[in-house]
Amino acid sequence: MLDSCSREQELLDRLGLGQQPQDELALHVASCPSCGELLLVAGAIFEDATTAMRHAPIPSSGGVWWRIERRAREEANRTATRTVSAVQIGTVFVAAAIAVILLGGLPTLAGWIATLDLSLPTNEASKFWSLPLLLGLATLLTLAPVAIYFAVTEE
């Protein structure tokens, strides 16, 4: 059960002004367990807050602004660099894919696509694979995760 008193806000307002309850309110607080508890807790916290704020070792606003601006700029630069790297890597992959197609020949690619039909027997499908295509794909599959990792990872 929450035993609160209707005069708690009045007491808090008083404490908020940095004053202790006086006169009739002080008498009430002395006889009201809820207000007495509030005075103990809120009074202690408010006094502690006042002291903490007075002695808070905060850096100057100018210094904080300068650091924030610099950090934001550096972060923006890193983001831009990552984007450019991602685009460059994408371009390399496309170029590599084109090279593989040209080396392996379009018929090979068509044959490879045909192997995607799982209904074909394995030995039937394997004849469509050529060495350049296999090498190209293996290279792409090996380098892609590494390249993506370096492109998107922050320093």
Closest CB 5 distance from other proteins, rounded Å: 12
Angle between helices 61-104 and 131-152 (to 10 degrees): 180
Residues contacting other proteins: total by CB under 8 A: 36
Q: What is the dihedral of CA 117, 120, 123, 128, to 10 degrees?
A: -40
Contact 7, 37 (CB under 8 A): no
Nearest by Cα to 37 from 81, 3, 74: 3
User: Per CB under 8 A, does 145 bind other proteins?
Assistant: no
Nearer to other proteins, 3 or 155 (CB): 3
Restricted to residues 9-28, the positions that interact with other proteins (CB under 8 A) are 12, 15-18
Neighbours of 147 (CB within 10 A): 18
Restricted to residues 93-122, the positions that interact with other proteins (CB under 8 A) are none
Neighbouring residues of 21: CB distance < 8 A, sequence distance ≥ 6: 11, 14, 28, 29, 39
Using DSSP's 3-state secondary structure scheme, residue 144 falls into helix
Contact 124, 114 (CB under 8 A): no
Nearer to other proteins, 15 or 32 (CB): 15
Restricted to residues 60-89, the positions that interact with other proteins (CB under 8 A) are 61-62, 64-65, 67-68, 71-72
Nearer to other proteins, 74 or 124 (CB): 74
> Site map for other proteins, 26-55, x if CB under 8 A?
-----------xx-xxx-xxxxxxxxxxxx
Which of 6, 23, 31, 57 is the binder for other proteins (CB under 8 A)?
57
Degrees (nearest 5) of the Cα angle 116, 89, 105?
A: 40
> What does the binding site for other proteins look like in residue numbers (CB under 8 A)?
2, 4, 12, 15-18, 37-38, 40-42, 44-59, 61-62, 64-65, 67-68, 71-72
